[in-house]
Structure 1
Amino acid sequence: MIYRNVVSAVVRALAAETISSAGGCDFEPKVQCAKQKGEIVGKEAAFLTDCWVFGRLHKSLSAEHWRVLVAKFSTHSERKHVAIAELTRVVQSPAPERFLHCAVVTWALPRLPGVDGKRSTNVLPSGWYEMDNWSNVPHPIKTQERWRREIRKVLEREVDEALVSAQALLDAEGLIGTQAA
């Protein structure tokens, strides 16, 4: 399987973890079954590649890069929440701790289109997206916007660095398609 780009590879790999009913990349039973029937093809082959990419990225990327990719792109709620909590501890900001936490959470779980963002299982109540709720002490709106902007800038820079590392890894494996324009 060849991925269109690094983002689609990362998203598919992180989603593969939640596809099976066992809650993980259960490629071993598929491989055992294929040994009995022949070659693995189609959806099973794509799923195995996704599972392999998941494992390869998890093992090869730095903990910081893996954490930010999980927080941004994962569909596994528990892992996503753990990654968000870890990011909250490592991101530096002059903002109060609660504000920082809310900024990271709303970055990782952005408001989605639709009625109250109900197009996804990972949605927050609308109050989460109101910055005035992010601190018990009132701060000027410009200060809050600056804090949020700087926090998001740091997180997006980390995502970009993680995607560059993932791109290099997947390019070396020949998993990213290159099309002449």
Structure 2
Amino acid sequence: MNKTAVLVRILLAGSEGKTASAAWVDADQGCAGYGGLSRQERFEMDCEYRSLLHKRLLPRHWDSLIARYTLDTAERGHAIKGLGRVIATHAHQHFKFYAVLTWAEPQKPGADGKRSSAILQANIYDMNLWDDN
């Protein structure tokens, strides 16, 4: 499992999306129990890492991790709003929101943006439409 997948698994651990978290733990079965740990022990370790990251990181850094890497949509939306409030720029609020949103959810390849996963509409990535009016 790559580093990003491990980070996603840690960020999901203990969040409201318990079933998604369990799926990510199960996806790591190819690692021979992750050093001999059981599924439950690995989940508990991920919860501890999540708690440690949340305590040690600045709120804007925590929101950045959540906005970019978590799969929990409610938590992601809260983090995106939080980042929109702390970004220092002369741009208007509408522009900042779209900039944070498209950073958090980059455009994915596919025919006309159609994929099985939820993605943003293709026109959201057009900066010409980010005008305040």
For the aligned pair, the TM-score class normalised by the smaller chain equals 0.7 to 0.9
Aligned residue identity for 1:124: L
Q: Would the alpha carbon gap of residues 133 and 13 (structure 1) be closer, same or farther in structure 2, given more than 3 Å must change?
A: same
Q: Percent identity?
A: 30
Separation of aligned partners in 2, 1:19 and 1:88 = 24
Query: What is residue 174 of structure 1 aligned with on the other side?
Result: none
Query: What is residue 60 of structure 1 aligned with on the other side?
Result: 56
- Please say if 1:120 is aligned against 2:81: no
Task: Tell me which structure has the larger Cα radius of gyration.
Answer: 1
Query: What is residue 153 of structure 1 aligned with on the other side?
Result: none
Question: In the TM superposition, what is the alpha-carbon distance from 1:11 to its structure 2 partner?
Answer: 2.1
Question: In the TM superposition, what is the alpha-carbon distance from 1:9 to its structure 2 partner?
Answer: 4.1
TM-score (norm 1): 0.56
Number of residue pairs the alignment of both structures matches: 118
Larger RCO: 1 or 2 (CA < 8 Å, sep 6+): 1
Task: Structure 1: state its 5+ residue gaps.
Answer: 26-39, 138-181
- Please say if 1:20 is aligned against 2:18: yes
TM-score (norm 2): 0.73
Contact 1:84 1:105 in 2 (8 A): yes
Q: Give CA deviations for 1:119-139 in whole Å, capped at 9, x if unaligned.
A: 433x111111111111146xx
Q: Would the alpha carbon gap of residues 12 and 76 (structure 1) be closer, same or farther in structure 2, given more than 3 Å must change?
A: same
Query: What is residue 132 of structure 1 aligned with on the other side?
Result: 128
Question: In the TM superposition, what is the alpha-carbon distance from 1:91 to its structure 2 partner?
Answer: 0.5
Separation of aligned partners in 2, 1:68 and 1:130 = 22
Question: In the TM superposition, what is the alpha-carbon distance from 1:84 to its structure 2 partner?
Answer: 0.6
Aligned residue identity for 1:95: A
| Pairing of 1:53-132 with structure 2 (within 5 A) | 53-115=49-111, 116-121=113-118, 123-132=119-128
Task: Structure 2: state its 5+ residue gaps.
Answer: 23-35
Separation of aligned partners in 2, 1:103 and 1:79 = 18
Question: In the TM superposition, what is the alpha-carbon distance from 1:19 to its structure 2 partner?
Answer: 5.0
Query: What is residue 8 of structure 2 aligned with on the other side?
Result: 11
RMSD of the alignment, in Å?
2.7
Q: Would the alpha carbon gap of residues 15 and 117 (structure 1) be closer, same or farther in structure 2, given more than 3 Å must change?
A: farther
Q: Structure 1: which 4+ aligned runs deviate by more than 4 Å?
A: none
Which of the numbers 42, 46, 64 marks the counterpart of 2:42?
46
Separation of aligned partners in 2, 1:87 and 1:78 = 14
Separation of aligned partners in 2, 1:55 and 1:126 = 35
Question: In the TM superposition, what is the alpha-carbon distance from 1:87 to its structure 2 partner?
Answer: 0.8
Q: Give CA deviations for 1:54-73 in whole Å, capped at 9, x if unaligned.
A: 11211222212211111111
